[in-house]
């Protein structure tokens, strides 16, 4: 009777002699017993403390026994229930089981049998609780291992992205700078911490799909052919396919797919326009363009910050959301020293040539923005 020792049991019966008799018998075998006369008092007792088992008379004033058993099962599912009844028929038994009862006890009952029924119900409850705890622990372990696997894979993808950029002196560090720029723009607009972090993550990964683009196309010094142009455009879809299985945040994956959409609707891959483009992707588009314009590329020299701002403002409303362009400009005093440092340039090296301004984003080369 080890399951009985110290078990907290609630006896609910409007017949005082019966509830007192059950209370005494169960107390004698080591249970901690509380006796009440109706369903309302039983629910009040359950709100104050937990019970391993409730013995409930089928016929109670007010809240009936089956209704009370169902309420306890819903609110306190770890409390086992035994229905005490004077009706011996199959319909009653089925009704008790449907109400969540572990067992039912017939009146008049044998006291030894009553104690055995209680012990059996408590044992079954213990097994169910242990199984639930085991399943919960197993689910948590699976969740942790899944998160760890995703972090590991995501770390590998970040490393892959960095390695891809490191092969090209022109794009080295580009994704990190885009992440920083986009984060500053979002923060300046009052975007919450979680969404800003999501935008920064997408910025860090936005070009991972370029692993599927031939290196000679990315580094080509002259204009792209139509076929090469389509190949470069495909990097956003490739990036989405790489990230979707491992990045739990679908919004960040959407940003990667759509960071080359244009505000006027003539971008790729889906031709989204204005507010139809995910907000984070709109932010990335501005950040991506600014870093690309102020970085050397094999097909043009870098622009000054002032010239890059001129290009962005020139394309505002057509390629980029105007308010986001201005949000970047507002943060430029803070951003520029950080970008110069990340580029590894001298602090005074900010007066790059303006000669290529006319050949910036208006060229339509999809390599321009990262």
User: Do 116 and 174 lie in a common domain?
Assistant: no
- Residue at a domain's end among 115, 136, 157: 136
Supply the pLDDT for residue 367: 52
User: Do 224 and 276 lie in a common domain?
Assistant: yes
Supply the pLDDT for residue 26: 92
Supply the pLDDT for residue 354: 34
User: Do 307 and 230 lie in a common domain?
Assistant: yes
Supply the pLDDT for residue 88: 63
Q: What is the DSSP track for 89-137?
A: SHHHHHHHHHTT-SEEEESS--HHHHHHHHHHHHHHHHHHHHHHHHHHH
Supply the pLDDT for residue 48: 93
Backbone angles phi and psi of 331, in degrees to 5? -95, 0
Supply the pLDDT for residue 349: 45
User: Do 328 and 239 lie in a common domain?
Assistant: yes
User: Do 174 and 114 lie in a common domain?
Assistant: no
Supply the pLDDT for residue 164: 67
Q: Helix/strand/coil (H, E, C) string of 180-243?
A: HHHHHHHHHCCCCHHHHHHHHHHHHHCCHHHHHCCHHHHCCCCCCCHHHHHHHHCHHHHHHHHH
User: Do 255 and 108 lie in a common domain?
Assistant: no
CATH of the domain at 209: 1.10.3210.10
**Closest C-alpha among 162, 169, 179 to residue 295:** 169
Supply the pLDDT for residue 216: 86
Supply the pLDDT for residue 350: 41
What contacts 24+ positions apart, CB below 8 Å, involve 309-314? 310/357, 311/357, 311/360, 311/361, 311/362, 312/286, 314/362
Domain, as residue range, for 102 = 8-136
Residue ranges of the chain whose pLDDT lies below 50: 1, 347-364, 369
Supply the pLDDT for residue 344: 73
Supply the pLDDT for residue 288: 95
Supply the pLDDT for residue 356: 37
CATH of the domain at 18: 3.40.50.2300
**Closest C-alpha among 167, 68, 54, 71 to residue 121:** 54
User: Do 333 and 255 lie in a common domain?
Assistant: yes
Supply the pLDDT for residue 38: 93
């Amino acid at each position: 009777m080890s399951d009985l020792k110290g078990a907290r049991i609630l006896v609910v019966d409007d017949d005082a002699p019966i509830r007192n008799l059950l209370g005494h018998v169960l107390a004698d075998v080591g249970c901690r017993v509380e006796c009440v006369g109706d369903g309302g008092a039983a629910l009040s007792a359950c709100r104050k403390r937990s019970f391993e088992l409730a013995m409930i008379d089928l016929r109670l004033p007010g809240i009936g026994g089956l209704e009370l058993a169902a309420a306890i099962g819903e609110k306190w599912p770890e409390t086992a229930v035994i229905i005490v009844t004077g009706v011996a028929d199959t319909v009653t038994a089925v009704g008790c089981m449907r109400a969540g009862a572990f067992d039912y006890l017939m009146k008049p009952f044998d006291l030894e049998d009553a104690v055995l029924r209680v012990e059996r119900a408590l044992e079954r409850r213990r097994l169910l609780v242990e199984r639930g705890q085991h399943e919960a622990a197993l689910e948590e372990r699976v969740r942790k291992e899944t998160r760890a696997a995703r972090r590991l894979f995501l770390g590998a993808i970040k490393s892959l992205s960095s390695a891809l950029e490191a092969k090209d002196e022109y794009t080295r560090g580009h994704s990190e700078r885009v992440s920083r720029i986009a984060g500053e723009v979002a923060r300046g607009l009052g975007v919450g911490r979680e969404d800003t972090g999501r935008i920064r993550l997408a910025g860090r990964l936005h070009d991972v799909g370029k692993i599927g683009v031939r290196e000679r196309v990315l580094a080509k010094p002259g204009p792209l052919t139509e076929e090469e142009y389509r190949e470069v455009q495909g990097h956003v879809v490739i990036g989405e396919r790489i990230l979707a299985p491992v990045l739990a945040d679908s919004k960040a994956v959407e940003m990667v797919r759509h960071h080359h959409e244009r505000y006027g609707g003539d971008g790729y891959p889906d031709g989204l326009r204005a507010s139809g483009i995910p907000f984070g992707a709109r932010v990335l588009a501005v950040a991506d363009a600014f870093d690309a314009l102020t970085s050397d590329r094999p097909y043009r020299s870098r622009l000054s910050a002032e010239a890059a701002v001129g290009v962005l403002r020139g394309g505002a409303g057509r390629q980029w959301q105007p308010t986001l362009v201005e949000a970047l400009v507002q943060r430029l005093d803070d951003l520029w020293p950080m970008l110069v440092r990340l580029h590894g340039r001298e602090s005074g090296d900010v007066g790059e040539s303006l000669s290529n301004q006319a050949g910036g984003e208006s060229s339509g080369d999809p390599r321009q923005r990262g």
